[in-house]
Amino acid sequence: MASRVVITGLGVISPIGIGVSEFWKSALAGRSGITAIPSLGWFPMSGYRSQV
What is the Cα–Cα distance from 33 to 30, expressed in whole angstroms?
A: 10
| Structure confidence at residue 52 (pLDDT) | 63
| Whether 12 contacts 18, CB under 8 Å | yes
Output the pTM of the full model: 0.58
| Whether 16 contacts 10, CB under 8 Å | no
Cβ contacts of residue 48 below 8 Å, gap of 6+? none
pLDDT at 6 over 80: yes
* Other beta carbons within 10 Å of 10: 7
The string of pLDDT tens digits covering residues 12-49 is 999 999 999 999 999 999 999 988 776 666 777 777 77
| Structure confidence at residue 36 (pLDDT) | 74
| Whether 27 contacts 16, CB under 8 Å | yes
